[in-house]
Amino acid sequence: MLFATRLNSLKSRPELFFGPGPVSTEDLLRRAARIQGLNSLSLNFPEHFTPATLRATRETIEALGLSVDSLNIRYPADTFGDGGFTHPSAAVRQQAIDLSCQAMDACAALGGNHVIVWPGFDGFDYAFQDSYERMFAHTVEGFAQLAAHDPGMRVGLEYKPWEPRKYSLIGNMGEALLVVQEVGADNLGVVLDYCHAQMANEHAPKAAALALRHHKLFGVHLNDGYGRQDDGLMVGTASLLTTLELLVLLERGGYPGTIYFDTFPVREDPVRECEWNIRVTQRLLTLARDIAADSAIGTGHDAFNVTAVIEKLLFPERVHV
């Protein structure tokens, strides 16, 4: 399994690594290079670099012995605060599509193969504010243009139920899969963010199963939280059993993609935090493979399946089914 971290996860506690002054993308890349077990990176575009700085960014990444798995597109609020793909202005919608296509080209130039689209400003705040039919149609149209821009580049739709808008247009796995189905492109799929699924009152393993059923799970953002907001806590620290079940689903479903650690350390050392994420995920994956191979666990509508899993976690030397 390929492990990648979001570069923004490394901004906190600058005094532990950086000198005085603002923290640059190069600083964050050098910090990422210290993380034991990290395979790859997931950068934001155009937040972390622009087409003008792409060459220098690529040289820094290569010099540090790192690689880029994906880019996350961030749509600036001053232009897209009223929507990107769903903006009422055709000119602004085209700007959002153009920015997304630039990100796809930049990702290819950095050696990545996956662009993750979180349409955070695509939504609404009030009843009667806009036409849901229009916004959905323009969303489908926008993602169709992205998929056609580079059929060799995977495009992952990352959903979230709210924030920054009061309601996101694409707020759960079912809505995201509906967009994917209507576009019908092989290179368009869904990215499951664990905390976003919690916010949507989804059971993350079930949501993953829906996408795996259609071979459309293109990415997993692994983190943890309490379900009320996008907590971004360390992996397995708030809902360990559900995290483990998600990993079992990925093993059984033959998930071929990357585990992205999308966590938000505030008081914690982000290097140490990412190393925990990698370490605990590796250990849970070992256990997940063992559970995935046991056809008796996760079937039969038997509540005691979960007790067998708990015993495997706590008392591996004496497991009772």
pLDDT digits (tens, 9 = 90+) for 112-157: 999 999 999 999 999 999 999 999 999 999 999 999 999 999 999 9
Whether residue 318 has pLDDT greater than 70: no
Is the residue at 318 inside a domain?
no
pLDDT at position 22 is: 84
Q: Which of these, 144, 136, 158, 142, lies nearest to 186 by C-alpha position?
A: 144
Per-residue pLDDT, 66: 94
Q: For residue 227, what is the domain's CATH number?
A: 3.20.20.150
For 189-232, how does the pLDDT look when each residue is reduced to its tens digit (9 = 90+)?
999 999 999 999 999 999 999 999 999 999 999 999 999 999 99
> How far, CA to CA in Å, does 4 sit from each of 9, 38, 132, 146, 239?
11, 6, 35, 23, 21
- Residue 309 maps to a domain: no
Please check whether residue 291 lies inside any domain of the structure. yes
Spatial CB neighbours of 21, under 8 Å, sequence gap ≥ 6: none
Question: What residue numbers bound the domain in which 196 lies?
Answer: 2-296
pLDDT digits (tens, 9 = 90+) for 242-267: 999 999 999 999 998 899 999 999 99
How confident is the model at residue 319, as a pLDDT? 56
In a domain, 205, yes or no: yes
Average pLDDT over residues 314-321: 69
The answer, yes or no, to whether residue 320 has pLDDT greater than 60, is no
- Residue 307 resides in a domain: no
Question: In total, how many domains does the chain have?
Answer: 1
